[in-house]
């Protein structure tokens, strides 16, 4: 059995040139080495392939049948390797791959939806899988190869992760357009007395950034409904006296909902895109990340 570690690319290249020239000296000249060195290469080739490869004839060397057969394979291998070494060319219209995006349902609506619409035009063969990330460790999902890209708030991103800022988010106060307080000025005290609905990404929570801001003022609020998805929220606000403090980008997509600035300072957050080292240098993934960033501008 030939040890492949002993068959390097220089040997294969010399073999092909030997087949072209059928002359050790001329082959040596083409490779800019001496004839004895070329002779040594031929010896190593003979050892690797267990065949004389070339036999001496009156003027030069004649390849054996085995050498001719191996030559066709060697030329193909060298051509394939040359192709491998060319820098990859990205053609979005022909790009066929699956991009798995982890995001909360709110972010799926704000970022993933326009991303999908754009990719349908630019890269129609790219499959998109949207996966919910609610409470899971993003790094674990990357390491388990369950997602390629995550769209999450900066709270979920650590400095050792590849990341890019998408946009800054702030909160607005949302309520039905028929709500008695719509278009009425809100004080912090009045605000805190309203019945609230809130998102709980981890599920079942009744306290969040709004409560921290109220507590700083010595106030508390009453959260009546805790949701962990956005499906019910539009109808909930439209059909009740409930009020919600929502990320502005999302709130602006809700129909028949009155929006106004909250009467207190609520710390916003930064929406980030983060990915694994596995896709850091991949040309297709780099292009897709660029498209994600563009749809967020």
The site for DNA (CB under 7 A) is made up of 6, 8, 10, 23-25, 32-37, 39-44, 56, 58-61
Q: Are strands 98-103 and 222-227 parallel, antiparallel or unpaired?
A: unpaired
Kindly state the smallest distance separating residue 24's Cβ from DNA, in Å: 3
The two tokens of residue 20 are: 């072209």
Shortest Å, Cβ 61 to DNA = 5
Residue 85: CB minimum distance to DNA, A = 18
Q: Report d(CA 124, CA 118) in Å as an integer.
A: 9
Which CB sits closer to DNA, 5 or 121?
A: 5
Closer by beta carbon to DNA, 35 or else 226: 35
**Closest residue by Cα to residue 247 from 46, 83, 233:** 233
SS3 content of the chain, % helix, strand, coil (to 5): 45, 20, 35
Using the minimum distance from each CB to DNA, give the nearer residue, 52 or 92: 52
The distance of closest approach from Cβ of residue 45 to DNA in the complex, given in angstroms and rounded to an integer, is 10
Closest separation in Å from C-beta 69 to DNA:
20
Residue 23 DSSP label: -
Residue whose token pair is 């704000």: 110
Q: Is the distance from CB of 275 to CB of 162 less than 8 angstroms?
A: yes
Distances (CA, A) of 288 to 69, 87, 115, 153, 266: 44, 18, 9, 19, 33
Give the three-state DSSP class for 163.
strand
Nearer to DNA, 35 or 164 (CB): 35
Min separation Cβ 31 and DNA, Å = 8
Residue with smaller CB distance to DNA, 25 or 69: 25
Residue 133, judged by CB atoms within 10 A of its CB (0-12, 13-18, 19+), counts as: buried
Are 272 and 157 in contact, with CB atoms under 8 Å apart?
A: yes
Inter-residue contact 249 to 167 (CB < 8 Å): yes
Q: Hey, what long-range contacts does 16-21 have (CB within 8 A, 24 or more apart)?
A: 16/71, 16/74, 16/75, 16/78, 18/42, 18/45, 18/53, 18/54, 18/61, 18/63, 19/63, 19/67, 19/68, 19/71, 19/74, 21/60
Q: How far is the CB of 48 from DNA (least distance, A)?
A: 10
**Nearest distance from C-beta of residue 42 to DNA, angstroms:** 5
First-residue to last-residue Cα distance in the chain = 60
């Amino acid at each position: 059995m030939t040890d492949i570690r002993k068959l390097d690319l220089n040997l294969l290249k010399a073999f092909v040139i030997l087949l072209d020239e059928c002359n050790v000296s001329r082959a040596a000249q083409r490779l800019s080495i001496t004839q004895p060195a070329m002779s040594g290469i031929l010896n190593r080739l003979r050892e690797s392939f267990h065949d004389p490869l070339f036999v001496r004839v009156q003027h030069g060397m004649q390849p054996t049948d085995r050498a001719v057969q191996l030559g066709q394979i060697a030329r193909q291998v060298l051509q394939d390797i040359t192709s491998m070494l060319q820098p990859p060319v990205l053609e979005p219209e022909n790009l066929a791959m699956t991009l798995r995006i982890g995001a909360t349902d709110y972010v799926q609506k704000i970022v993933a939806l326009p991303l999908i619409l754009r990719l349908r035009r630019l890269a129609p063969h790219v499959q998109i899988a949207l996966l919910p990330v609610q409470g899971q460790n993003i790094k674990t999902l990357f390491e388990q190869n369950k997602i390629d890209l995550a769209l999450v708030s900066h709270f979920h991103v650590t400095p050792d992760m590849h990341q890019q800022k998408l946009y800054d988010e702030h909160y607005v106060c949302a309520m039905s357009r028929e709500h008695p307080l719509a278009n009425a000025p809100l004080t912090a005290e009045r605000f805190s007395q309203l019945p609230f609905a809130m998102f709980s990404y981890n599920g079942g929570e009744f306290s969040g950034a709004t409560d921290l801001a109220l507590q700083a003022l010595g106030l508390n609020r009453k959260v009546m409904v805790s949701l962990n998805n956005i499906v019910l929220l539009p109808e909930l606000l439209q059909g009740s006296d409930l009020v919600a403090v929502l990320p502005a980008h999302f709130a602006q997509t809700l129909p028949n909902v009155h929006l106004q600035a909250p009467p207190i300072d609520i710390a916003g957050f930064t929406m980030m895109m983060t990915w694994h080292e596995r896709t850091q240098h991949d040309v297709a993934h780099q292009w897709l990340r660029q498209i994600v960033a563009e749809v967020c501008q």
